[in-house]
Amino acid sequence: MLVDFELIKRAQAGDGAAFNEIVLAYRKRILGTITRLIARTEDVEDVAQDVFLRMYFSLDQLRTAEVFETWLYRLTVNAAYDYLRKQRRRQEFRMSDLSEQQVLLADAVAGGKVERDQQYQKRIRESVDSLLGAVSEADRILLMLKEVEGLSLKELEKIYEVNENALKVRLFRARQRVLKASEEMKRGREPAKAG
Amino acid sequence: MYSMPGNQDERLDALFRVYREACPAPEPSANFMPELWRRIEARQAFGFSFRRIANAFVTAALAFSLALGIYMAIPQSNSSYYAQSYIEALAAENTLDTPEIVEPVRLEIAPDSAR
């Protein structure tokens, strides 16, 4: 926990300063999670603010301060879902972004402005974003939370409110789809969207 | 595409690990907190005005109900019209001095026709 229970209780009681402290403590983490969940850097801050907005208006629904982090993750996942739902043309956006990024990258390489590790990181981001484009938004978020954010199955159980076995099955299937997409990409084919 | 060493699952795990490092959390802008509070206040203002409209509507509905109740409770000037029952009203309309209704029917048989 990045904050103590007392601070959460004060924020629940309507203390604006306590709420501010909580936001300041968690905003970097939430920004990082959202960056990986939505893969649209320009909208990350807007979605993060939406998470804290939801937190402000539903803090009184939090039964115990002990489950605060799990609850905040749930708000984050819900905000990311809502954002992705609004982006109906997400796939098209991503493809256009990719080509735009590639053009920028090529320009930068030609001009010698981008360092090698930045290019490497960009290549990884593009690879993972392309692979995760092969699975549904729900599976993408689940995989991100488990594999990238490093949440345990117990934590995911609380966030999704489903049992561990169901989560394992979903994760297994999502991984299989990603691996299949990876194979298809290696063969030079556009992976089919599934799940 | 980024090439992954090892077997498929290990490669995927490795890719996810490096992905986390490749996607560091962005620094929040200086405008993050002011913008957040602006959004909170905007929603509160919306909620407040909505509540005010709802309250005004409820008050108006209550006032109207009360006024209607009072209006219905006040005795009307032509209330005597409803002061008697239907039978009483009929009796009043057809008093005993209207023989064609109240008087028994008399059959007068002529003595000649009897034979």
Confidence class of residue B12 from pLDDT cuts 50, 70 and 90? Answer: confident
Q: Evaluate if residue B115 carries a pLDDT over 80.
A: no
Nearest by CB to B1, from A23, A49, A127: name it.
A127
Q: Please state the ipTM of this predicted complex.
A: 0.72
- Cβ pair A130:B19 closer than 8 A: no
Please tell me which residue of chain B has the smallest CA distance to A172: B9
- Cβ pair B39:A123 closer than 8 A: no
Which DSSP helix (H) or strand (E) runs through B91? Answer: helix B86-93
The 10s digit of each residue's pLDDT in B28-73 is 999 999 999 999 999 988 877 888 899 999 999 999 999 999 988 8
| CATH fit for domain A133-195, picks 1.25.40, 1.10.20, 1.10.3110, 1.10.10 | 1.10.10
Which two structure tokens, joined as six digits, stand for B11?
A: 């490669």
- Cβ pair B15:A128 closer than 8 A: yes
Q: Evaluate if residue B21 carries a pLDDT over 70.
A: yes
More confident residue, B18 or B106: B18
What percent of chain B is modeled with pLDDT above 70?
71
- Taking a contact as any Cβ pair under 8 Å apart, which residues of chain B between 23 and 82 contact chain A? 23-29, 32-33, 35-36, 39-40, 43
Helix axes A16-38, A44-58, angle to 10 degrees: 140
Q: How far is A189 from chain B (nearest CA, A)?
A: 12
Q: What is the mean pLDDT of chain A?
A: 83
| CATH fit for domain A1-87, picks 3.20.20.70, 1.10.1740.10, 3.40.50.720, 1.50.10.10 | 1.10.1740.10
Amino acid residing at A67: V
Nearest by CB to B22, from A44, A124, A186: name it.
A124
Q: Rounded mean pLDDT of B98-115?
A: 61
Q: What pLDDT sits at residue A130?
A: 83
- Cβ pair B25:A179 closer than 8 A: no
Q: What pLDDT sits at residue A95?
A: 47
Q: How far is B56 from chain A (nearest CA, A)?
A: 24
Residue to mutate among A19, A41, A43, A52, with most B CBs inside 10 A, is A52
Nearest by CB to A27, from B16, B19, B32: name it.
B32
Please tell me which residue of chain B has the smallest CA distance to A54: B40
> Which segments of chain A have a pLDDT < 70?
88-115, 189-195
- Cβ pair B23:A32 closer than 8 A: yes
Q: How far is A144 from chain B (nearest CA, A)?
A: 8
Which two structure tokens, joined as six digits, stand for A177?
A: 């789809």
Among residues A79, A96, A97, A98, the alpha carbon closest in space to that of A31 is found at A79
Residue to mutate among A2, A22, A31, A46, with most B CBs inside 10 A, is A31
For chain A, which residues make up each domain, given as ranges?
1-87, 89-130, 133-195
Q: What pLDDT sits at residue A71?
A: 93
Q: Evaluate if residue B5 carries a pLDDT over 80.
A: no
Long-range Cβ contact pairs of A43-52 (< 8 A, separation 24 or more) = A43/A83, A44/B26, A45/B26, A45/B28, A45/B29, A45/B32, A47/A79, A47/A80, A47/A83, A48/B28, A48/B32, A49/B32, A49/B35, A49/B36, A49/B39, A50/A79, A50/A82, A50/A83, A51/A75, A51/A76, A51/A79, A52/A23, A52/A27, A52/B36
Nearest by CB to A31, from B13, B22, B28: name it.
B28
Global pTM value = 0.67
- Cβ pair B32:A45 closer than 8 A: yes
